[in-house]
Structure 1
Amino acid sequence: MNKLRFVHILLFTTAICFFLPPIAARGGHSDYIRPGPPQKTYSFYLSGDGSSSFQGTARNLFAQVEPRPSAELARGYMTNDDLEKAMKDFTKRCSKISRLYSIGKSVNGFPLWVIEISDRPGEIEAEPAFKYIGNVHGDEPVGRELLIRLANWICDNYKKDPLAQMIVENVHLHILPSLNPDAFTVRTRNNANNVDLNRDFPDQFFPLNEDLGLRQPETRAIMTWLMDTRFTASATLHGGALVANFPWDGTEDKRKYYYACPDDETFRFLARIYSKSHRNMSLSKEFEEGITNGASWYPIYGGMQDWNYIHGGCFELTLEISDNKWPKAAELPTIWDYNRKSMLNLVASLVKTGVHGRIFSLDQGKPLPGLVVVKGINYTVKAHQAYADYHRLLAPGRKYEVTASSPGYKPKTTTVWLGDDAVNVDFILIPEASSQGNLLRSICDCSGQPFLPQFFTVTNNGITFTLIVVVAFLCFLLQRRVRFNLLKQRQSSRRSTTV
């Protein structure tokens, strides 16, 4: 009888294991979700000072335990000390187009080093910024190796390769090869406190905690980094699959299905840039075109990708760049060759596509911090506080109605046809309830309104004529200066207009 009961238990257990769903390749995820009502509304607006609110209570989301790669398998990969030395050597060799800085330290005190690549590293310019992050999970080290190779390739080729030159001269590229150096050392997924860093960010559907100090030091470093630096787009490099993943990563009801964010079309476009530039990612039989919506693949909560988009104003992709999380070091040159073009094209997309420009005030001719919205898309892009430049990534091949606004000024709207190339649209806003602004607007506006005859009938002709000539000339100089300053910063192939 006991033997028969044992056989029944064994068969029942085997049946359960057979029908369990397989662990997803995106690094594996925890099914633990802190209970709480889903949020029915959420804001996509980045506050004026770049800050954001974090709600809920503290938590840890532990991933399922996976076999630790052997020490022999790690042979040939750079150690943390090797990586630090390689980054320092790089900035010495390429000092004219790079600088090295740290955004913080890991749990065990290792610096989180970042390389910035630009023709003016360390300076603030009216240019978009892009960041690459690798080694979010300690047992996914391929990103570390590829990112240092990317930096060296740009340094070696920026004077002779048009794509490298475009990136150096028109983008501020920031490269963080290892977010999780502690876990890399011991070849585990989670950080030294056994926390999955890609489940440690504030989540829009299931609030976690308000206290930034309760989060992991690596997570805090990323969040502070985005408050200090305005990134237009970014990508994190993971391992365990071959696909470009985009928001949303989670759903309101925790179920698995396609859950689109407001910029779903744009994210699909960016993901396809990476996938189709890759040697074989777009040929995937598992993922159509080699791309996937995160929630459609499997939902996660507390992920870095969604937080970047909501609170950082940054369009982020999660890139799975290798089916094998920890391939042999001898395979790294091939993996780099397969991903090189994709990595470069994704960064270059910041200046090759989308709508870009600056916002000025007509009364003073100075950069005007403001907001840019696109009709039909529930997302706000904030112009830079000092230079008032904005960079609105959008999928090409359609018309967009773009509006710029700023407190105390009349909003201005224009319609843009976005083809394969980027478009510059510079907005000059008119102060509200300003007679001077109305005068300037009437004179500078080429709409053909019969302003001059009406003005001549009520004012001395000679004085009026002189006043109009002077003001019109000043207006002409102002707009010419605006266009000239912007022209120096834009590519000659990009269409430009001022409204």
Structure 2
Amino acid sequence: MITRMKLLFALLIVSLTLSSSLRPTFARGGQHAPLPSGFEYSSYVGSARHLFEENRSYISDEVAQGYMTNSDLEKAVKAFGQRCSNISRIYSIGKSVNGVPLWVIEISDKPGEEEAEPAFKYIGNVHGDEPVGRELLLFLANWICDNYLEDPLARTIVENVHLHILPSMNPDGFSLRRRGNANNVDLNRDFPDQFFLINEDADARQPETTAIMSWLREIHFTASASLHGGALVANYPWDGTLDKRRTYFRCPDDETFRFMASTYSRSHYNMSLSKEFKGGITNGAYWYPIYGGMQDWNYIHGGCFELTLEISDNKWPSANELPTLWEYNKMSMLNLVASLVKTGVHGRIFSSEGGRPLRGSITIKGINHTVKAGRTFADYHRLLAPGGRYEVMANVAGYKSRNTCIWLEEAAMTLDFVLDPEVTLNKGGSLPRSDCECDCGNTSKLEFVDFIWGSHLGVFVILIAVVGFLYLLLLRRRNINLSKHRHP
């Protein structure tokens, strides 16, 4: 009996140790939750994300005909850069395993310059056997170039957003006509994961993944979307769960993501009419949990609100269907980018001392997610679902935080913050200091003098009076003792 008790106790200790080693999700704001209104389990339960599994069927030359090769794509990108040089620039964020450049088109009225504007990125061809996105992104770039002088929506994007387009993240997989890259790695499972310790070794990551991660460290993207194929739905975080169970697992900005996904779905020709996905949108973990995905990593580590867009039921449709797919997705792609400036709360953070920009952060009461302001202009772009009351707070180290309540309607709101330093300034508007800033001794003396002659002056006077009184008592006692010695 004692042996059994010891065994049970040992098993209990082991189980507690294993459970404590798991990383908690609630620090990220993830939580199991009842389904939002409008969400229902439907006939696709159990079908999961079978569309994402390795496609072993051979893509024939006949099916692939009409799609741009990697060489064709590079020529098209560079040709676009020459044709629309006044509103674009072409650059590369790295190379694939086989050395193919990962070309990016930036579209803006001031390409390459940092402005107090939000940045958006589109990424296509994450999976090699899903090439529709790479084609549609060239359609998008060329349409904006042809229409921005006349079309209000295109002009809004060019003048108020920095749009970055990466047509192909996985050119090697496209050439091989398979899902993974040249190393047969699924790039949408290669990012560090919030739930499990996978992909933590930077040296083991694929060069395409590393390029995306470096890209986000260089450019402060507000939002983004990656284009996939095999279904018709706008997918949003979280994409996984701690227990790997299929369930609705919401992130802190669940309402905002639902709004973004619905913006795409409602603008689409038929996505919102889906019989599989209510309203044409889905929470990733509710559809099918994945780990190491790019979507969750963007939100957690880049502060970038990313959607995963499934834009074609057929992964590799015939090329003659591409113009139709473009027309179906055109308004969705445009409206999603434009939503960065048409909705949410935007502004800058300044110091009350001289009005200089302060690179701080913005938090929303009740939402466990922080949005950082830009490096140069201290501009922030906080995406929020419209039609709600929000308490917005600006935070900068060394300054007093400031918050204000807003009611966000359908249109965007501008809200600037002016913060006061935490320390008290003297009449000259600067901190008290000696003539020689490097003389720490003088600074200490000044601090001591301020301490004595400041708010502690009353206490100091009392102490002097007490010491003086004690001194007089000692002096009187000494005189009495001397008198006794002189007169025995």
Correspondence for 2:306 among 307, 313, 316? 316
CA separation in 1, counterparts of 2:173 and 2:267? 31
CA separation in 2, counterparts of 1:400 and 1:38? 34
Correspondence for 1:379 among 358, 366, 369? 369
Q: Which residue is equivalent to 2:192?
A: 202
Query: Relative to 1, partners in 2 of residues 1:221 and 1:255: Cα closer, same or farther, differing over 3 Å?
Result: same
Counterparts in 2 of 1:94-493, with a 5 A limit? Answer: 94-435=84-425
CA separation in 2, counterparts of 1:38 and 1:275? 36
SS in 2 for 1:73: helix
Shift of 1:210: 3.1
Report the residue type matching 1:275 in the other structure: S
Q: After superposition, what is the alpha-carbon deviation per residue over 1:286-343, rounded to whole angstroms, capped at 9, x for unaligned?
A: 0000000000000000000000000011000000000000000110000000000000
Is the Cα contact below 8 Å between 1:401 and 1:413 reproduced in 2?
yes
Unaligned runs of 5+ in 1: 1-34, 46-61, 441-499
Is the Cα contact below 8 Å between 1:37 and 1:206 reproduced in 2?
no
Report the residue type matching 2:232 in the other structure: L
SS in 2 for 1:379: strand
Shift of 1:212: 1.5
Report the residue type matching 2:180 in the other structure: N
Query: Relative to 1, partners in 2 of residues 1:143 and 1:65: Cα closer, same or farther, differing over 3 Å?
Result: closer
Is the Cα contact below 8 Å between 1:88 and 1:100 reproduced in 2?
yes
CA separation in 1, counterparts of 2:385 and 2:354? 34
Is the Cα contact below 8 Å between 2:173 and 2:181 reproduced in 1?
yes
Is the Cα contact below 8 Å between 1:362 and 1:437 reproduced in 2?
no
CA separation in 1, counterparts of 2:291 and 2:302? 17
Query: Relative to 1, partners in 2 of residues 1:313 and 1:44: Cα closer, same or farther, differing over 3 Å?
Result: farther
Unaligned runs of 5+ in 2: 1-18, 30-51, 431-488
Report the residue type matching 2:164 in the other structure: H
Is the Cα contact below 8 Å between 2:190 and 2:199 reproduced in 1?
no
Is the Cα contact below 8 Å between 2:25 and 2:195 reproduced in 1?
no
Q: Which has the larger radius of gyration?
A: 2
Q: After superposition, what is the alpha-carbon deviation per residue over 1:216-260, rounded to whole angstroms, capped at 9, x for unaligned?
A: 000000001001111000000000000000000000100000000
Q: Which residue is equivalent to 2:63?
A: 73
2:24 counterpart of 1:40:
yes
Correspondence for 1:92 among 71, 77, 82? 82
CA separation in 1, counterparts of 2:324 and 2:53? 29
CA separation in 1, counterparts of 2:142 and 2:426? 54
Report the residue type matching 1:406 in the other structure: V
Query: Relative to 1, partners in 2 of residues 1:80 and 1:414: Cα closer, same or farther, differing over 3 Å?
Result: same
Is the Cα contact below 8 Å between 1:183 and 1:190 reproduced in 2?
yes
Pairwise CA RMSD: 1.8
SS in 1 for 2:111: coil
Query: Relative to 1, partners in 2 of residues 1:133 and 1:438: Cα closer, same or farther, differing over 3 Å?
Result: farther
Shift of 1:208: 1.4
Report the residue type matching 1:400 in the other structure: Y
CA separation in 2, counterparts of 1:404 and 1:44? 20
Counterparts in 2 of 1:16-27, with a 5 A limit? Answer: none
Is the Cα contact below 8 Å between 2:54 and 2:179 reproduced in 1?
no
SS in 2 for 1:167: helix
Query: Relative to 1, partners in 2 of residues 1:92 and 1:430: Cα closer, same or farther, differing over 3 Å?
Result: same
Report the residue type matching 1:99 in the other structure: R
Q: After superposition, what is the alpha-carbon deviation per residue over 1:434-480, rounded to whole angstroms, capped at 9, x for unaligned?
A: 2459999xxxxxxxxxxxxxxxxxxxxxxxxxxxxxxxxxxxxxxxx
Report the residue type matching 1:372 in the other structure: I
Report the residue type matching 1:143 in the other structure: G
Alignment: residue pair count: 390
Q: TM-score, normalised by structure 2?
A: 0.78
CA separation in 1, counterparts of 2:429 and 2:172? 63
Poorly superposed stretches of 4+, deviation over 3 Å: 35-38, 41-45, 62-65, 435-440
SS in 1 for 2:61: coil
Q: After superposition, what is the alpha-carbon deviation per residue over 1:390-422, rounded to whole angstroms, capped at 9, x for unaligned?
A: 000000001100000111111000011100000
Is the Cα contact below 8 Å between 1:36 and 1:206 reproduced in 2?
no
Is the Cα contact below 8 Å between 2:199 and 2:292 reproduced in 1?
no
Query: Relative to 1, partners in 2 of residues 1:388 and 1:44: Cα closer, same or farther, differing over 3 Å?
Result: farther
Shift of 1:42: 6.0
Report the residue type matching 1:39 in the other structure: R
